[in-house]
Structure 1
Amino acid sequence: MERLPYIDQHSRIIKTDRARAWAALLRTTCENPEDLSTLPSGFVLDEADPPKRLATKGQHPFSRYSLVFTLEEAYPGHTRLTAESRGVFPGIHGRIYRALVIGSGGHRLVVREMLRRIAVTAERS
């Protein structure tokens, strides 16, 4: 796994155990939770260590990036879900893309909303 420059990290405490949080992560991020190759367009599986870690990566002409989810017991019956983003944005087009996606705050909003949806899914199951 290539170690890309750090972008940001966001966490959320989910009121359930790690196994249920993992299942919710897969239901929320994969088209088919039984098949980790069905991640959203633009992402492929880099590494998985259920129910502790799901690492994804991707690339396009303006960026190479990774999004890694880690799940750890925060305290009994509660899981801390963390999403860490890394990426490189080469060239002038990459710098412009980074400004639009990261600099605008849009990336932060999308990641936080994703964590919220995973938490809601986990806590409902």
Structure 2
Amino acid sequence: MDTTEIPALPFVDEHTTLVEANADAVRQELTALMDGSRGFKVAVSIPGQELAYVGRHPFSTYALIFHLDEADRGRTRLRAETRAKFPGAAGAVYRRLVIGTGGHALVVRYMLRKIRRNAPRKGRGELRDKPPPACG
């Protein structure tokens, strides 16, 4: 799938979380998480802003787009947007099984929780990069 095809895919859902880490740390954790997933390849990579993964199989063509928006105090708002089409009767059944049961939403929310939990270990923005105050 080409990056120009992503906007043409129908919107499925979006989930958001606020991460207590800078965008670089969030991106690092997101990349580590997605590198181990099957069926996705990187389509768009804009450091500090967006990572889009795409995939295709007989029942679906899909994109999972992660938007990283700077928030206050070194935090990052992470939005996971899903777009997909499900062609034919088999695609309709697959959509019901994956989307209709809520399974997809559970998996995406799990991913966001994992990133929210692990990314702060990698960086908390400018405050973490400064040396501690001198004692004395």
**1:65-80 matched pairs, under 5 angstroms:** 65-80=62-77
Q: Which residue of 2 aligns with 1:34?
A: none
Deviation at 1:20, TM superposition (A): 1.2
Q: Does 1:6 align with 2:11?
A: yes
Q: Which residue of 1 aligns with 2:125?
A: none
1:17-56: per-residue Cα shift (whole Å, max 9, x none)? 111111111122214xxxxxxxx21111111101211011
Farther-moved stretch of structure 1 (98-107 vs 47-56): 47-56
Provide the secondary structure at the position in 1 that maps to 2:25.
Answer: helix
Instruction: State how far apart, in whole Å, the 1-side matches of 2:54 and 2:108 are.
Output: 15
Q: Does 1:113 align with 2:118?
A: no
Instruction: State how far apart, in whole Å, the 2-side matches of 1:60 and 1:26 are.
Output: 22
Provide the secondary structure at the position in 1 that maps to 2:71.
Answer: strand
Deviation at 1:76, TM superposition (A): 2.2
Question: Normalising by the residue count of structure 2, what TM-score does the alignment of the two structures yield?
Answer: 0.82
Deviation at 1:59, TM superposition (A): 0.6
Instruction: State how far apart, in whole Å, the 2-side matches of 1:26 and 1:43 are.
Output: 12
* Gaps in structure 1 of 5+ consecutive residues: 32-39
Deviation at 1:124, TM superposition (A): 2.4
1:83-113: per-residue Cα shift (whole Å, max 9, x none)? 0000000110000000000000000000000
| 8 Å contact kept, 1:28–1:121 | no
More strand by share: 1
Q: Does 1:104 align with 2:109?
A: no
Q: Does 1:23 align with 2:24?
A: no
| 8 Å contact kept, 1:9–1:82 | yes
More helix by share: 2
Q: Counterpart of 2:64 in structure 1: which amino acid?
A: L
Give the RMSD, CA atoms, in angstroms: 1.0
Instruction: State the structure with more CA Rg.
Output: 2
